[in-house]
Amino acid sequence: MSIRKQSIISSVLVYIGFAVGLFNTWLFAKGFAEAQYGLTGTFMAIASVMLSFSNLGMLYYIYKFFPYYNDNVPPDKNDMMTIALVVSFTGFIFLLLAGFAFKNFVIQKYATNSPEVVVYYYWLFPFGFGLSLYSLLEAFAWQLKKSVLTNFLREIFFRLLTTILIVLVFVRVIKTFDLFIKLYAFTYLIIAVILLTYLIVTRKLHFTFTLSRVTKKFYKKIIVLGLYVWGGSLLLNVSLVFDTLVIGAVVKNGMTSVGIYTLAQNISSLIQAPQRAIISASIQPLSQAWKDKDHATIYRVYQRSSINQLIFAVGMFVLIWINFTDGVYTFHLKPGYLYARDVFLFIGLMRVIDLGTGLNAQVIGTSSYWRFDFITGVTLMVLTLPLNYWFTKQLGVTGPAIANLIALTVYNGIRYTFLLRRFNMQPFSLKSLYAILLGIAGFAVSYFLFRNYQGLGWIILRSTVFMLIYGTGVLYLNLSPDIMPVWQTVKNRLGIKS
């Protein structure tokens, strides 16, 4: 299955998943307190940190070395996943021990503003373990070109499990939030077991404790890769979730503020859908291209990922921004969620910049220059931690969004410069500018025509006008080589003649 086809199917699944996620957000906003919703966001943030600590570089080990194992070792003798799972499981054991040892430190930081974190402290660990296990299996499945399945499980099935739990609360089968959050703690573990079962039953995954000749040949490089990339990804992921953690620790009524911030994050994740799909479809081709020294393929993937993601990101950002306030009133969310609008503005702009710079992290991470990941990870953390703390103290819930916009812009600028100077690769063209100008034009027309009107009908009309302006411009200017073939396929399926 081609990158384009996998990306399209995965994008559809991701958007369906986001639709389920938005439905869950609406249910949370209607039936739960902001602090309770904020606790689920904190679960996700802390689980991401646990994943970063416990994987010990095994995700990038799979990304980088799978082609070598696949080309030189029979499937039943492939020890890659045995090594990855054993190492990561060992890492999680150490993390668990550290969690017990430093519990009093966590209590000291969160007891005043976010006591909910203290109450459910131990339930964070099954949630983090489930995310860690699933992420490893997902990385392996991507190499097998099973990104459609993994995106279904992560983006749709995981959210459906949450939907079921919320509905069970509403119908009083689950009578307390206490029971809800304890069951929620096992949701990632459920989808991890499903994916593990699939890989074993279909004989895609084998376990062997005999070291293969690939492992014996590359073990020194594997260890160095693991240490460097683990350090870099750890710093990166801590930087990416530090906003949620610092809000809970610093802002008064921490979990309520986290709930507002989580709403903005979840809505902004709509912008990320193409990125998740394209990454999952591109990791294996990039790994193979670096192994084969096929720089033309790498450059093509890098450029196309940039323009495709930028087109989606600009369009989705504007659609959400012009309808945000109207959406809060129309869907009768609690008035406190209006504060999420300003948070979304800065997080959304950050997403546009991140997607617009293409798959720079994956291009670097699958190359022989993966040590650069560590350097940029350190840079991002040095920027993110003090900026997040200072802006949060000064501006409250909006502060981390501004801090992250600044830090991620610098971070992506460094990666852009590195690829340009080292490989003479850069993702932008005049079409990148056209996509941004089209977004601005569509925003201006749809916003100023309908800014004084509210209601579902006006949301639909406002969105339709924008999509007509933006979509027509994208097609007319042929901004991406992947769009016209897709558009032609859609017309053929609908029986529309050129």
Express each pLDDT in 237-269 by its tens digit: 777 777 777 887 777 766 777 778 888 888 888
Task: Evaluate if residue 197 carries a pLDDT over 90.
Answer: yes
The pair phi, psi for residue 482, each rounded to 5°, is -90, -15
pLDDT band at 142 (very low <50, low <70, confident <90, very high): confident
Q: Which residue has the higher pLDDT, 106 or 93?
A: 93
User: Is 282:359 a contact under the CB 8 Å cutoff?
Assistant: yes
Which tens digits make up the pLDDT trace of 42-71? Answer: 888 888 888 888 888 888 888 888 888 888
Q: Are residues 326 and 453 in the same domain?
A: no
Sign of the CA dihedral running 339, 341, 343, 344: positive
Q: Which residue has the higher pLDDT, 485 or 164?
A: 164
Which residue, 226, 54, 64, is CA-closest to 134?
54
Task: Evaluate if residue 10 carries a pLDDT over 90.
Answer: no
Task: Evaluate if residue 235 carries a pLDDT over 90.
Answer: no
What pLDDT does residue 7 have? 61
Q: What is the pLDDT of the chain when averaged over all its residues?
A: 84
d(CA 151, CA 195): 11
**Which contacts qualify for 426-432: CB closer than 8 Å, 24 or more apart?**
427/302, 427/303, 427/305, 427/306, 427/307, 427/356, 427/357, 427/358, 427/360, 428/306, 428/356, 429/303, 429/307, 431/307, 431/477, 431/479, 431/480, 432/306, 432/307, 432/310, 432/356
Read off the tokens for 66.
Answer: 């799978």
Find the Cα–Cα–Cα–Cα dihedral 466, 468, 473, 478, rounded to 10°.
120
Number of helices (H) and strands (E) in the chain: give both, helices first: 22, 0
Most confident by average pLDDT, 6-15, 186-195, 246-255, 328-337: 186-195
What is the average pLDDT across 136-156? 87
| Counted domains in the chain | 2
Q: Which residue has the higher pLDDT, 115 or 162?
A: 162
pLDDT band at 183 (very low <50, low <70, confident <90, very high): very high
Q: Are residues 440 and 416 in the same domain?
A: no
Among residues 406, 428, 450, the one where a domain terminates is 428
What pLDDT does residue 470 have? 94
What is the average pLDDT across 311-331? 90
d(CA 273, CA 11): 6
Among residues 428, 459, 483, the one where a domain terminates is 428
Task: Evaluate if residue 491 carries a pLDDT over 70.
Answer: no
What DSSP line would sit under 283-303, residue for residue? HHHHHHHHHTT-HHHHHHHHH
What is the average pLDDT across 476-491? 69
User: Is 248:254 a contact under the CB 8 Å cutoff?
Assistant: yes
pLDDT band at 126 (very low <50, low <70, confident <90, very high): very high
What is the average pLDDT across 128-135? 93
Q: Are residues 358 and 469 in the same domain?
A: no
Q: Are residues 284 and 356 in the same domain?
A: yes
Cα 197 off chain centre by: 24
d(CA 358, CA 309): 7
What is the average pLDDT across 218-232? 78
What pLDDT does residue 362 have? 82
Most confident by average pLDDT, 204-218, 276-290, 363-377: 204-218
Task: Evaluate if residue 118 carries a pLDDT over 50.
Answer: yes
pLDDT band at 274 (very low <50, low <70, confident <90, very high): confident
d(CA 206, CA 74): 10
User: Is 47:80 a contact under the CB 8 Å cutoff?
Assistant: no
Q: Are residues 409 and 286 in the same domain?
A: yes
pLDDT band at 2 (very low <50, low <70, confident <90, very high): low
Cα 231 off chain centre by: 19
Cα 67 off chain centre by: 25
d(CA 328, CA 338): 7
Among residues 402, 428, 454, the one where a domain terminates is 428
Q: Are residues 297 and 220 in the same domain?
A: yes
What pLDDT does residue 393 have? 85
The pLDDT > 90 percentage for the chain reads 29
What pLDDT does residue 454 have? 86
What pLDDT does residue 488 have? 59
Task: Evaluate if residue 149 carries a pLDDT over 70.
Answer: yes
Weakest-pLDDT range from 69-83, 291-305, 332-346, 473-487: 473-487
Q: Are residues 455 and 421 in the same domain?
A: no
Q: Are residues 336 and 452 in the same domain?
A: no
Q: Are residues 304 and 388 in the same domain?
A: yes
d(CA 465, CA 475): 16
Q: Are residues 135 and 34 in the same domain?
A: yes
Task: Evaluate if residue 483 carries a pLDDT over 80.
Answer: no
Q: Are residues 420 and 461 in the same domain?
A: no
Q: Are residues 461 and 376 in the same domain?
A: no
Q: Which residue has the higher pLDDT, 66 or 280?
A: 66
User: Is 351:271 a contact under the CB 8 Å cutoff?
Assistant: yes
d(CA 235, CA 218): 25
What pLDDT does residue 1 have? 47
Cβ contacts of 347 within 8 Å, gap of 6 or more: 264, 265, 268, 401, 404, 405
pLDDT band at 275 (very low <50, low <70, confident <90, very high): confident
Q: Which residue has the higher pLDDT, 160 or 491?
A: 160
pTM of the model as a whole: 0.71
Q: Which residue has the higher pLDDT, 464 or 370?
A: 464
**Structural domain span for residue 490:** 435-498
